Chains A and B, each alone.
Chain A
């Protein structure tokens, strides 16, 4: 409900009070604690409190070898596991100055887009749930299961794949891979319109999201918001377009941009991105070139002295991997610029003046994965 409509106040004096939302709260999707300052139901201030799932991943990298680091990134934004793996691999490959084969590039891109689809599906399911529609969760998980099966068959794991290694990938794609991906795309093309029917056009959902939680283009830029959350405000920030990596330079796709920047616009971005992801996969799936699976690298990779930076577009926004190497087998310092952290910083700004229930909808459309924020 819009702030302007709330002009009639009860008589008498009101007092601000604090309430803890989380760390155990279903709408925070993990162990995030939001310290809310409320005046009645109106959010006056949101103070996110982090650290409940901090695992020192950046510190751990300082005594792990580059091969070992890859799997740690599975556990940051676990819904973008493939893309995180890819980011580290690309950064290490940059340092080693090796070029992976076209086959690896294409497979990485397909996997990344499947990951994005799977992540957006899960997000769609829980966004419905956050706004009171339980059915969406069942729909999303039904279709997401197909992607998980594809991952399991090729990568040997369903969530934390650890499939990409510096120089290539762990093993070649499964013989069934192309067939099953095509089956999935055909299936999902019929299901995605159903998602729209079920939720996007739902009048209750529209009421909960349209015109709620505006974020202006300027604010999105100044807070460093990336991903669909920023693109809804009209910020063109898709790394796949700006700095194409892997096989993104050889495929056609649109960068989805919004105009309004409200909660529904952020929702719409992801639905449209799913169509684009399917479009990317369709272009590549029949054109996987032959090539070696792994470039020749030493068992213990040593990067030359220097700094290496690689950014990729995860399902949540821009992930930057910054390696500072002193020539040893472990990085001197490794930093992850995770999209969730920057996106969280804007939540106070966006949610002020809206009701607690709107805060849940706003948070849902920023799609937070808490281990990505905390690392």
Chain B
């Protein structure tokens, strides 16, 4: 035997060194192993924070995450009511779901041990199945490390001092690159689609913008909104309120992205070329629409596409309704609305301007001529304050004031204006007055944070030097010897909690009378309908309750041939709800006349 062979025989005996040592394997009873602080084990989901956006389910390439209905969670605006259920037969613990969670509710825990002989017990509703996981979080989602981008691409705006000099549009719009970057922030969860009254296909057109397919985006937008440029500029954007990204950061600028997409078509002809809608052959039916506001225009546009012969009756010389006459031009320029109206006319919608129903033509005539009638008549009449001295010269309604200004007419307001109210109309009237060179004070009976106007509108007004006087209840308008407004007298109010659990009520403080010298007073405390054009026989059939038409889910009134939408039929009273009404009514009218579906 060679030396080598002897060596090779003896050397392995070194293993005997280990003979008396403790084993490295675990002994029974098992000593529990604590995982490291970063261990990616089972998931934990904060059920109350989660909004059920489903981003975790989308990113999971193993399809381990299903979004399931959870009985304890109510779906509401901005919450789908679904929660992630994780299949631990599929999960690979890569933690991408945590990386993309916009709310930060989803996390991973240090737990890794689960033994069961029933495969169904490996389907866990994270957070509900393992509430104890909260104590053992390991991998959590932080804003800095998240794959979501929580910062919005800032929108360029005119400076406050520049703005008041003219009616130039304040918002300047995104460039192509900015729009693409902003669109890339969208996670396509679709909560916005649910929140939008019109259920616009928001993730789809945002994705198209992100992919630099602006024309596709515009086509998708025109699927169910014929006034997108108006929405892109002045929509109340319920979508952004529920945006999943907005739960921890700034919501995706959905409105500005829509605005960007619509601005790629610079005129009506170009819109026509890009959208290139299919217009069906005329089917012989005739539909009349009363009022060329958002709801009327929407119903008219989609009915015309379906081959109906559509006529709109509009009392004013221009279409657009409240969006034309109620919204100041620095927010919604006249060229923009003209472009959209021209496009709608170009596909065959007939608009009879300066035709007031009830005066120039009776409602009965229209009713008899048409196979269906849609009323989008809106709320043209403003509420009055009901206080002394309202008849003074220089005391007016804010809507009327805006109407006059938007019609390019002149009205004397002097250099000191008081606006009563805290809604968007009040802010608009205030900002317009400021542009007319007046010093503006807004009187609102509650606190600034209670104001129903958009937050950025309020900030915009403050930037422009408008003074907001909260908790002020006007009681009297003082006149001078010529019957002109001299001053407004108001009481300071204190907020008293409501016993019934509602929001706090303002209660006037006795003796806190304050007199503010002004040259004009504008009331912006709401509007109401004017249904005097309807003959009695119709008013009997079409029920009116609390100032609004009663309609069913298809916008149909008590008369089977008459449909209604917009402010005069829904309580939300904004443009996008009106568009949604028009779209619904169009589908219902089509069903009624053509059958099917």
Contact = CB atoms under 8 A, between A and B. Distances in A.
B92 A153 contact: no
Interface in B57-96: 59, 61, 92-96
Interface string B17-59: 0000000100000000001111110000000000000000001
A198 interface: yes
B5 A64 contact: no
Nearest to A299: B147
Most chain B CB within a 10 A radius of its CB, from A142, A299, A300: A299
A198 B15 contact: yes
A194 B16 CA distance: 12
A171 B138 CA distance: 13
Contact of B61 (A64, A74, A145): A64
A35 interface: no
B149 A160 contact: no
A358 to B, nearest CB: 19
Interface in A135-181: 135, 138, 142, 145, 149, 152-157, 160, 162, 170-171, 174
Most chain B CB within a 10 A radius of its CB, from A74, A133, A174, A201: A201
Most chain B CB within a 10 A radius of its CB, from A72, A74, A197: A197
Nearest to A138: B24
A135 B5 CA distance: 20
Nearest to A145: B24
B13 to A, nearest CB: 9
Contacts of A50: none
B138 A156 contact: yes
Interface string A181-207: 000000000000010011101110010
Nearest to A152: B36
A60 interface: yes
Given A68-B59, A68-B96, A142-B24, A155 B38 contact: yes
A71 interface: yes
A11 interface: no
A203 B24 contact: no
B93 A152 contact: no
Contact of A67 (B14, B36, B147): B147
B9 interface: yes
Given A156-B139, A198-B14, A206 B95 contact: no
B100 interface: yes
Contacts of A162: 92-95
Nearest to B41: A156
A201 B8 contact: yes
Given A197-B12, A198-B11, A201-B11, A153 B38 contact: yes
B5 A203 contact: yes
- Count class of interface residues, chain B: 20 to 34
Contacts of B138: 156
A174 B96 contact: no
A344 B8 CA distance: 31
A308 to B, nearest CB: 21
Contacts of A72: 61
A142 B149 CA distance: 44
B145 interface: yes
B11 A197 contact: yes
Contacts of A199: 12
Nearest to B23: A138
Contacts of B93: 157, 160, 162
Contact of B149 (A75, A203, A299): A299
A256 B366 CA distance: 95
B38 A174 contact: yes
Q: Is the interface of A mostly helix, strand, loop or mixed?
A: helix
Contacts of B100: 299
Contacts of B571: none
Interface in A295-337: 298-300
A71 B94 contact: yes
B182 to A, nearest CB: 12
A156 B36 contact: yes
Nearest to A327: B211
Nearest to B40: A156
Contacts of B7: 201
Contacts of A153: 36-38
Nearest to B60: A68
Contact of A71 (B12, B96, B139, B148): B96
A138 B19 CA distance: 13
A75 B99 CA distance: 21
Interface string B414-445: 00000000000000000000000000000000
Nearest to B139: A156
Most chain A CB within a 10 A radius of its CB, from B24, B38, B108: B38
Interface string A104-143: 0000000000000000000000000000010100100010
Contacts of B12: 133, 197-199, 201-202
A203 B61 contact: no
Given A135-B15, A142-B24, A203-B9, A154 B94 contact: no
B153 interface: no
B184 interface: yes
Nearest to A328: B211
A197 B147 contact: no
Contacts of A156: 36, 38-40, 95, 108, 138-139
Contacts of A142: 24
Interface string A324-359: 000000000000000000000000000000000000
A107 to B, nearest CB: 15
Contacts of B94: 71, 160, 162
B8 A203 contact: yes
Interface of A: 60, 64, 67-68, 71-72, 74-75, 133, 135, 138, 142, 145, 149, 152-157, 160, 162, 170-171, 174, 194, 197-199, 201-203, 206, 298-300
19 contacts: A60-B61, A64-B61, A67-B96, A71-B94, A72-B61, A145-B24, A152-B35, A152-B38, A153-B36, A156-B95, A156-B138, A174-B36, A174-B38, A201-B8, A201-B11, A202-B8, A202-B12, A203-B9, A206-B8
